[in-house]
Amino acid sequence: MLIRNETAGDIPAISRVVTEALRMLAQSTGTEAGIVERLRADGALALSLVAEEEGEVIGYLAASAARIGKQDGWGLIGPLAVLPSRHRRGIGTALMTEALRRLRATSRGAALVGDPAYYGRFGFRAFPGLKVEGCPPEVVQALPFDGSEPRGELKHHPAFGLDQQK
């Protein structure tokens, strides 16, 4: 398996992987591939990584710039998607490990909204005062690279459809 930056030729496969993988989640809105497309169109993808095996895109991870409270410099991870037929083979772990390695060089930390049981193994955790309006606090998580405690609203790129983005 190879983890690499996306290329223009990967775009249709990325949309397929994101749609297939996230369709399985109860909280899926069906708009996740569109979010990636808008992030790409706006030049807002800080990272756009694919997992490739034998020439096939089997996984994907996006990261974009985010702010927590008044602190810029956070990398927002999402979506992370792996083809359902390839689950439990370490593909998501490989994508996340590479993303965190790259973000450590450019960001004060990483943040996401996701399953604490899954993302906790990478060091993500909820913090008192870290929030996204409308999300349960336990799923709003961060991994500060400098040991600080993030506080405030996690601000996403407008592609995520959050009207409170300022």
Contact call for residues 92 and 102 (beta carbons, < 8 A): no
Tens of pLDDT, residue by residue over 36-70, are 999 999 999 999 999 999 999 999 999 999 999 99
Q: Label residues 142-163 b or e (16+ Cβ within 10 Å = b).
A: bbbbeeeebeebbbbbebbebe
**What 3 state SS string does 116-154 have?**
HHHHHHHCCECCCCEECCCCCHHHEEEEECCCCCCCEEE
pTM, full prediction: 0.90
Tens of pLDDT, residue by residue over 94-137, are 999 999 999 999 999 999 999 999 999 999 999 999 999 888 99
Residues 6+ apart with CB under 8 A from 45: 36, 39, 62, 63, 64
Contact call for residues 135 and 113 (beta carbons, < 8 A): yes
Ordered by where they begin, the domains of the chain are 2-160 (3.40.630.30)
